[in-house]
Amino acid sequence: MSNLSSNIILVIAVTSIATYLSRSFGVLFSEKIDEHSKIFKLFDCIAYSTLAALISKVVIFPAGDLVEAGIFLRIGVVFLCVIAFYVFKKNLVYPTILSAILLTVLIKII
């Protein structure tokens, strides 16, 4: 094996171990976690803020094919998808599909 392929295999192995180890700990300790505790709420806030930062970065500084869409188009699609999120009772599937369809159609039209 070449040096590059052995490094890729090592990276895949390490990330797989880290992922499944943390999931295993989650399964083991899930019964002992109080979801109304302050630490759980802290992690919840951190997760949501990370997601908001990621979405903001993609909307404001797009990469790839998303560059073709203007900033107002991207922001408009985000607002429509947030509304769809609440209309569909906080289901993430419909807004995700809606965003892909809206961006595809609106980029071709505009």
**pLDDT tens digits for range 61-79:** 998 888 888 999 999 999 9
81-100: pLDDT as tens digits: 999 999 999 898 999 999 99
Asked whether residue 49 falls in the same domain as residue 100, the answer is yes
Judgement on whether residues 49 and 94 belong to the same structural domain of the protein: yes
Residue 17 shares a structural domain with residue 58: no
Residues 55 and 11 occupy one common structural domain:
no
pTM above 0.75, yes or no: no
The count of domains in the chain is: 2
Whether residues 25 and 67 fall in one domain: no
Domain range for residue 21?
Answer: 1-32
Residues 56 and 9 in one domain: no
> Do 17 and 43 share a domain, yes or no?
no
Residues 41 and 67 in one domain: yes
DSSP calls for 28-89: HHGGG--TTSHHHHHHHHHHHHHHHHHHHHHHHS--GGGGGS-HHHHHHHHHHHHHHHHHTT
